């Protein structure tokens, strides 16, 4: 099947070319800077085609700037829309924009989507525990890998010794929960469990059962979800 093309701000893009253009805009600015008029036209045209952002833009001219934002403890560089009246910053997800402008021919499985949203919510719930561990790690004179004992001089990751997804699955089994049907509510990239009781159950389970460790970034990438215990 031929690639689908759309025209944004007078230029024709396929899905790959559009993604490269978006990434080029993000990479060309330091965090905190507003985009140029040309890039603003591109972003405005994109966002005007999505109901959520179009409703904001209907209230007046919106601006755009590049920021660093934290998702589940990881820093992500991307685009925010600055609302016309309150100057509130609204994260503009590249993935959601691409999915909206270049819709898939096969509808996503609602069960799989719910599962992914629930896992995102579960990560958000335990973020305070991860932050607390990071504070302890940063207080050490030298940060060392929990596996090799060698000093880490570059980026490091806080990792679960027993993989996070395995903890989630065991918590579900013990409590009779199903990731594909658990009630979850998402707003943009942020997801929350509907039930406060279920959220508290997961927070306590993770607090009691999770063991965290520090790994060099390359160690964590190579480890993946493997467990050698």
**Interval 190-222: pLDDT, tens:** 899 999 999 999 999 999 999 999 888 766 555
Q: What percent of the chain has pLDDT over 70?
A: 91
Give CA–CA dist 80/33, Å, rounded: 11
Question: Which comes out higher in pLDDT, residue 56 or 223?
Answer: 56
State the pLDDT at residue 20: 94
Confidence (pTM): 0.55
Average pLDDT, the chain: 87
Checking if the pLDDT of 225 tops 50, the result is: no
pLDDT band per the 50, 70, 90 thresholds, residue 106: low
CATH class assigned to 6-101: alpha beta
Domain boundaries, the chain: 6-101, 110-223
């Amino acid at each position: 099947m031929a690639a689908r093309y759309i025209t944004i701000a007078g230029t024709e893009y396929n899905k790959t070319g559009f993604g490269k253009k978006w990434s080029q805009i993000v990479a060309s600015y330091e965090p905190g800077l507003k985009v140029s008029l040309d890039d603003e036209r591109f972003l405005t045209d994109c966002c005007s085609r999505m109901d959520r952002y179009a409703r904001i833009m209907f209230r007046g001219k919106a601006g755009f700037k590049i920021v660093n934002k934290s998702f589940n403890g990881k820093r992500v560089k991307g685009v925010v829309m600055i609302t016309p009246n309150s100057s509130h910053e609204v994260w503009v997800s590249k993935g959601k924009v691409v999915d909206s402008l270049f819709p898939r021919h096969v509808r996503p499985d609602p069960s799989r989507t719910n599962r992914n949203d629930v896992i995102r919510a579960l990560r958000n719930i335990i973020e305070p525990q991860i932050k607390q561990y990071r504070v302890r790690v940063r207080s050490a004179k030298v940060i060392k890998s929990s596996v090799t004992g060698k000093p880490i001089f570059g980026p490091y990751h806080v990792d679960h010794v027993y993989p996070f997804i395995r903890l989630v699955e065991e918590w579900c089994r013990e409590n009779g929960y199903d990731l594909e049907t658990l009630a979850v509510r998402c707003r943009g990239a942020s997801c929350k469990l509907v039930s406060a009781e279920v959220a508290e159950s997961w927070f306590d389970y993770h607090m009691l059962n999770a063991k965290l460790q520090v790994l060099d970034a390359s160690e964590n990438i190579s480890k993946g979800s493997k467990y050698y215990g």
